[in-house]
Structure 1
């Protein structure tokens, strides 16, 4: 049965490690959430390690600067793994070769040191997608014709960010997962690197073991996230406990007109995706 704790401190006797989502939980792409950062800082000081687990398509070392710029304190986390980290392993498995890189130039660090040549949909060996080229202006349908060419050629589509949308300020922005959905609908084959798929959890748990200095008891690992089909499903599939942050991207469905968590709506939201969470709160607080 899912419960609704007042905050993270109410769970501190049940778990040793937190694997925490980033975008939507501790920042919205424009500013950090001070109470969430404070809660994670207190967990790290009083309980154990916090490993950030993000569907960012860039390597974790490259995303730290973004967290710093959004005033996410270093004290709020002890380790960091990204979908980009998992993607690099998939890219290396397909190198050397020609890749159609779909995504903004800021994500090109993902390809550093890997023997790949940029190509288009007509002559690439495979696709690597980190997002839309201009996610403030474009929508997935803008890519249909090019993706159809690639799908007809049988190209593998490596998705570096399984998120379909993300909240940037007060807007929802399309992510690489939305393009992956479209590619699959066209008959293309997709491989996902991040949540809810297993590779990124293997990296996160290995990082937790390194920080703890001992094997992780999976029954004492708490996943925190706001995405039902990424964070909650990932924890559910890995048989890990999950704290669902309901005011994230699903806030319109999970929060009542009074601004408070609506337990019945949360249950309905999770049941619609056939997943369950162990706990749920509105915002991450201590």
Structure 2
């Protein structure tokens, strides 16, 4: 049974470092969660905090976004984004011709040596960063396109495994929902980001750069299939924040029901050592 947590201060001495989600913890896409930023800042007196986000853009862009919301750099020691791992993976594959799916804001994934192509069959890689316009589109609008991509044989990289995220009071679709359509059509995608291992390898490097002996790592996040699944895969304790994308399933915003929390975790075969509505000290 997960333990209800009143604040991070109650367990801070039990951990050497934190891997913390960004969207859903430090902000909701529109507003910063300042209590969460304060909690991470206070923990940094004890050990490093590495932000780990499935954002399909370089970590420099994530850093700028956090600063614009008022969640400043004193809340963390380093950032690891899915975009960082995508950039590394494309370089390793020497992918030069890219079929991009997503908004223009994610074009920072590509360098001047790369060319965007309009046909997936002419590409070295298909990169799914998100829906092109997630304010009006849904995955259903992409079914035929994802089937064509699956049939093309071109390697497919999912640059953000999230299915949905919060934006204010709404849930919006993410790249993971499109990658699932590709796989349903018969072609495996390369999933880059939480809960998959490549991202955690890179995140650990950032932790050990600040504290080489960090062995007790706490994962904080609101996403069961990403944050909490990733913690489970890596053998780390987790703090599940219930006021995120699963709020309606576990009792509502600010009022998590212990039994519903346990049932929801069990439904996905997951365990979280702690839970709380939001992160605070």
TM-score range, shorter chain: over 0.9
User: Deviation digits for residues 118-156 of structure 1, max 9, x if unmatched?
Assistant: 332343233101101111111111111111112112222
Aligned length: 281
Q: Confirm or deny: 8 A CA contact 1:96 1:116 kept in the other structure.
A: no
Deviation at 1:39, TM superposition (A): 0.9
Report the secondary structure of 1:244's partner residue: strand
- For the Cα contact (< 8 Å) 1:121–1:146, is it kept in 2? no
Change in Cα spacing, 1:114 to 1:53, as seen in structure 2 (3 Å) is: farther
String of CA shifts for 1:59-78, please: whole Å, max 9, x gaps: 11121111111111221111
- Once residues 126 and 144 of structure 1 are traced to their aligned partners in structure 2, the CA distance between those partners, rounded to angstroms, is 19
Match of 1:245?
Answer: 241
Counterpart residue number, 1:187: 186
Structure 2 CA distance, aligned partners of 1:88 and 1:122? 21
Instruction: Tell me the residue number matched to 1:120.
Output: 119
How far the C-alpha of 1:86 sits from its partner, in A, is: 1.0
* Corresponding residue number in structure 2 for 1:284: 279
CA distance in 1, matches of 2:95, 2:243: 43
Contact 2:121 2:153 in 1 (8 A): no
Question: TM-score normalized by structure 2?
Answer: 0.96
Deviation at 1:51, TM superposition (A): 0.6
Q: Distance in 2 between matches of 1:65 and 1:59?
A: 10
CA distance in 2, matches of 1:9, 1:177: 34
Corresponding position of 1:8: 8
| 2:214 is the counterpart of 1:216 | yes
Q: TM-score, normalised by structure 1?
A: 0.94
Instruction: Tell whether the 8 Å contact from 2:95 to 2:125 is kept in structure 1 after alignment.
Output: no
Structure 1, unpaired ranges of 5+: none
Matches of 1:122 and 1:221 in 2, distance apart? 43
Cα deviation, 1:61-110, whole Å, max 9, x if unaligned, reads 12111111111122111111011111112211332442210011111111
* Structure-1 residue corresponding to 2:137: 138
Measure the CA separation in 1 of the matches of 2:126 and 2:137: 19
Report the equivalent of 1:18.
18
- Tell me if structure 2 keeps the 8 A contact 1:236–1:276: yes
**Which stretch shifts more, 12-21 or 248-257?**
248-257
Question: Which residue of structure 2 lines up, in the alignment, with residue 170 of structure 1?
Answer: 169
SS at match of 2:171: strand
List, as ranges, runs of 4+ consecutive aligned residues in structure 1 with deviation greater than 3 Å.
113-117
2:107 match: 108
Q: In structure 2, what is the equivalent of residue 28 of structure 1?
A: 28
